[in-house]
Amino acid sequence: MSDTQSMGDPFVRFEKVQKSYDGEILVVKDLNLDIAKGEFLTMLGPSGSGKTTCLMMLAGFETATHGQIYLGKDPINDVPPHKRGIGMVFQNYALFPHMTVAENLAFPLEVRNMSKNDIETKVKRALDMVELGIFGNRMPAQLSGGQQQRVAVARALVFEPDLILMDEPLGALDKQLREQMQYEIKHIHERLGVTVVYVTHDQAEALTMSDRIAVFNDGVIQQLSSPSDLYERPQNSFVAQFIGENNKLSGKIKAVSGDVCTIELDGGGGTVEALAINIGAKGEQTTLSLRPERIEINPDKGSVPNTLKGKIEELIYLGDHVRTRMSVSGNSDFIVKVPNTHGHKLLKEGETAIVGWMTEDCRALDSLPST
């Protein structure tokens, strides 16, 4: 299931963890997951996939129905949240509106009975870390959304926890600020070496920030890999569709030779070759996954092993590339990203064109019984 990175003893471990709210339906199903010390691991998936429930069980706000969660070598199922020593950052910031920024940061230190001098030192250090050193006397309402989010990150870091959990922390920010904060959080993580478990449904955010990504669906990790492996080498069609943009073609397995299979496309679309990643036997149906930027329109003859005819339905100019929607082998939403070079000017809507790609860029995923 996973391309796990080599690690010593895991810092966080989920061992056969299940969660049900009604005693019948499992929202998390037999989860086994190891997280290394200092790692930035993102739990990614659609709404209802179980990712936030896993984070809340780790934080102590939800209890596991079955299985055990470990922090270091210690089981923590029965440890209350405030004794786990974990920093939390929420989407809504959860700042105290009646306290100044500095007082917000001091609060978790005061409840730990630290001395006044230590509190002042740690608050100043945390504010400097997120470049808000001069904002200590401001009230949260006097700050922008991005500044409030940085205060929330600083508050999670101020008592120097070994583990920080972040639940959709950038969801309320606009696109530009969100992207800026992604890099800021990533750089803070790199500087401090703290372990981060991050929850999001935004795949671009996960690809930008993470060491590894656990893709959740229906309470199960579908794939656990580095960002590049998830994008380049999805293990099933759910991951291929969820991470980045992806074209799907369906067909019947005609032959398998080593790690390459020959597929007869549905609807008389022709025959192509693909990497045999997750397929059944000859004669069964399968789904092909193909990234839009790996496809050429009207390639030089003989330059690529796979070619199909298609019709250009729509051209959308997006600056650095032209998004070309085509009808290919029964798929009327077949997307090709054509780089913005002079060649794109030769394309016209309504015309027939050839699409082509290399075999290693096409993956046969998921076997279905032949109908």
Three-state secondary structure string covering 223-259: EEECHHHHHHCCCCHHHHHHCCCCEEEEEEEEEEECC
206 and 293 assigned to the same domain: no
234 and 252 assigned to the same domain: no
Residue type, 76: I
Residue 216 lies in a domain: yes
Full pLDDT tens readout for the chain, 371 residues:
334 444 568 999 999 999 999 988 999 999 999 999 999 999 999 999 999 999 999 999 999 999 999 999 999 999 999 889 899 998 777 889 999 999 999 998 998 889 999 999 999 999 988 888 899 999 999 998 888 988 998 898 888 888 999 999 888 778 888 888 888 889 889 988 899 999 999 999 999 999 999 999 999 999 999 999 999 999 998 999 999 899 999 999 999 999 999 999 997 778 999 999 988 888 899 999 999 999 999 999 989 999 999 999 999 989 889 999 999 998 899 999 999 886 667 789 999 999 999 999 999 997 654 44
pLDDT of res. 281? 86
202 and 259 assigned to the same domain: no
Last residue of a domain, one of 238, 263, 278: 238
Point out which residues pair with 86 in neighbouring strands: 163
Residue 4 lies in a domain: no
pLDDT of res. 289? 94
Let me know: does 150 contact 140? Beta carbons within 8 Å: no
277 and 179 assigned to the same domain: no
DSSP H helical ranges for 84-131: 101-110, 116-129
277 and 222 assigned to the same domain: no
User: In what side-by-side order are the strands of the sheet with 74-75?
Assistant: 26-35, 12-20, 66-71, 74-75
* Residues of the domain holding 267: 245-297+304-368
Residue 2 lies in a domain: no
Last residue of a domain, one of 238, 254, 285: 238
Cβ-Cβ contacts under 8 Å for 266 (sequence gap 6 or more): 249, 250, 251, 252, 329, 330
Last residue of a domain, one of 216, 238, 260: 238
Count: domains in the chain = 2
178 and 251 assigned to the same domain: no
- CATH assignment at residue 148: 3.40.50.300
199 and 111 assigned to the same domain: yes
150 and 23 assigned to the same domain: yes
Residue 286 lies in a domain: yes
203 and 86 assigned to the same domain: yes
Residue 114 lies in a domain: yes
Residue 349 lies in a domain: yes
C-alpha distance from residue 66 to each of 25, 117, 157 (Å): 13, 44, 31
pLDDT of res. 222? 95
Residue 193 lies in a domain: yes
65 and 198 assigned to the same domain: yes
pLDDT of res. 344? 63
274 and 344 assigned to the same domain: yes
Tokens of 371: 């109908």
Residue 5 lies in a domain: no
206 and 63 assigned to the same domain: yes
